[in-house]
Amino acid sequence: MQFRDRTDAGQQLGVRLREIFEQNAEEPAQVLVLGLPRGGVPVAFEVALALNVPLDIFVVRKLGAPGHEELAMGAIASGGICELNAEVIDALKITASQIEETAAREGRELERREQLYRGDRAPLEVSGKSVVLVDDGLATGYTMRAAVAALRQQHPRQIVVAVPVAARSTCEEVEKEADAAVCLYTPLEFMAVGEWYRDFAQTSDDEVRSLLERQRGTSSNAGPAEGYDLAS
């Protein structure tokens, strides 16, 4: 099974979420979708369209292990949240100073992206809302776990993690920290998110900004979604 691209993945995920939300709806609830830049935003855009709810970003940065930057030793998110992978840190004998240096560098990039994508527009209010947190896939899950921890500080009604594909064990772990997790496909053998996409080209900053502008145009007159509650 492979998705054509992130748009295809988001459309399939949006259909599934709509079905689940409608089946489990017991009380009216306000819903919004947050995409993790950059790759999660095209997926989140389609999910927000399917649910007819607002879209925003939630910036999280992976902490690449020194000398092995593609390997996550943790992640940081807005609000000063830092999730560390003790196994990777111990195995590679990464020092506290290396962690601090990497976190500081990624923290500057996190702030840059917040300004680049959002400009002067304030983040959407998440307090009391049902938040669907979307990425293009989960491998280790540390980026998503950092996002969930940071969102908790803003007191949402519930956090629903939603991805097109994930390592099965990672989906199960993330579900313990969120209120619900919807992982469309959880293959037994999982090496990397990109192997489940025919087109996994990097999402550009311009594309992220464009999708946010497009979604604001389609939802500016829409009211809050009602009846969506996965925590029940």
Q: Collapsing DSSP states into helix, strand and coil, what is residue 78?
A: coil
| Tens of pLDDT, residues 156-192 | 999 999 999 999 999 999 999 999 999 999 998 898 9
Residues 24-60 pLDDT 10s: 663 445 899 999 999 999 999 999 999 999 999 999 8
pLDDT of 205 over the 60 cut: yes
- The fraction of the chain above a pLDDT of 70, given in percent, is 91
Average pLDDT value for residue range 131-140: 95
Assess contact for 133 and 36: CB atoms under 8 A.
yes
Q: Residue 47's pLDDT is what? A: 97
Single-letter residue type at 203? T
**CA nearest neighbour of 160 among 27, 42, 16, 60:** 16
Confidence of residue 9 (pLDDT cuts 50, 70, 90): very high
For 101-112, b/e burial (b = at least 16 CB within 10 A) is ebbeebbeebee
Measured CA to CA, the distance from residue 111 to residue 181 in angstroms comes to 27
pLDDT at 69: 85
Select the more confidently predicted residue: 215 or 187: 187
Average pLDDT of the chain is 89
Position 26 scores a pLDDT of 37
Sheet holding 60-65, edge to edge: 60-65, 68-77, 81-84
Asked whether the predicted pLDDT for residue 61 surpasses 60, the reply is yes
The DSSP letter of residue 39 is T
pLDDT in the model for residue 8: 98
Q: Which residue has the higher pLDDT, 108 or 81?
A: 108
User: Could you give the domains of the chain?
Assistant: 6-59+123-219 (3.40.50.2020)
Beta bridge partners of 160: 132, 180
